[in-house]
Amino acid sequence: MSNSANAPKKQAIFHPRNKHQGEYDFKQLIAADEANAEPRLAQFVQTNPAGELSIDFSQPAAVKALNRALLTLQYNIRGWDIPDGNLCPPIPGRVDYLHYLADLLKQSNGGKAPKKSSIHVLDIGTGANGVYPLLGASEYAWHFVASDINQASLSNVQDILEANPTVAKQIELRKQNDANAIFRQLIAVDEWFDLSMCNPPFHASPEEAEAGTKRKWKNLGNHDGNKNATLNFGGTDAELWCPGGEAAFIEKMIQESALFKTQCFWFTCLVSKASNLTMLIKSLKRVQALQIKTIEMQQGQKQSRFIAWTFLTPSQQAAWAKLRW
């Protein structure tokens, strides 16, 4: 997902509860970032040709500093950092997914929001940034299991949690030891989740990932970055690509979800390519998912979506809500 989604837009359109409507208030962000370590956001803020404060969104260090300041100012998350080369997520778009998930839960509970502290979420592929658990714990007081196949990524999230003891109480880190599995060997037999969520790897090969990242650089006005810088801006291999790309990853997720059909109310996953939806919906019907939803999200000029499915019958859903929410 492009870091250009972080760029301020005069008429940004997000979920109504999203705090990131309109332009960034860089003065507030700089003040909030004073509590963080160097390099601070102030070093990257400059006046653009329109006379407005902004940053160069083609600079990974600047985007990272902006994300850290946003997390501090809006969500009271301090000391957020990621190693060079890891995916730097656009905060406004990431938190939108969580807001729409909250709406999905409300719809499943007769229009009433479930008790926040009762909600348990499984984040597949949390990465080194841990952004979904951090945002979800801060914004909604949900509990998370944040999983990843990369121990270095989990170790980095652990460092962030140690700097944020309040949200740390709501987040458990869990390593997926089988690189070919998604839910298998991750969900215990006596475990239940109200939601699962995932931002899947998009590309089908390292070459495709590199080409995509170069396009991001070009779109941001950087035409002569060297190869290493280009790759560092885009994310690590596990974050960017897998054999078969997004479609194959979500297909595997669908197949495995049928093994845990009564242990998760809503399985969900972002779908970057709208053209994949028809195939994915057919796969969900083959595994006999009982409800399938496609949730569209408008984020500025960008259209995104996630797919959600459940195997629970209406009576099972009602019993789940009564028992857990």
pLDDT tens track for 36-89: 888 899 999 999 888 999 999 888 899 999 999 999 999 999 999 999 888 888
Identity of the residue numbered 231: L
Beta-strand relationship, 291-299 and 302-310? antiparallel
Which is more confident, 8 or 123? Answer: 123
Q: What confidence tier does 302 reach under pLDDT thresholds 50, 70, 90? A: confident
CA distances from 294 to 18, 108, 154, 182, 258 (A): 20, 15, 30, 21, 18
Beta-strand relationship, 120-124 and 143-148? parallel
| pLDDT of res. 220 | 47
Distance of CA 250 to the CA centre of its chain: 15
Taking 90 as the threshold, does the pLDDT of residue 201 lie above it? no
CATH topology of domain 88-324: Rossmann fold (3.40.50)
d(CA 164, CA 169): 9
| pLDDT of res. 119 | 98
Write the DSSP string, 201-220.
--BSSHHHHHHHHHHHHHHT
Task: Tell me the pLDDT tens digit for each residue of 238-277.
Answer: 555 456 679 999 999 999 999 999 999 999 999 999 999 9
The H or E element spanning position 172 is strand 171-175
| pLDDT of res. 58 | 86
Q: Where are the domains of the chain?
A: 88-324
DSSP state of 274: G
**Among 227, 219, 275, which residue's Cα sits nearest to residue 247?**
275
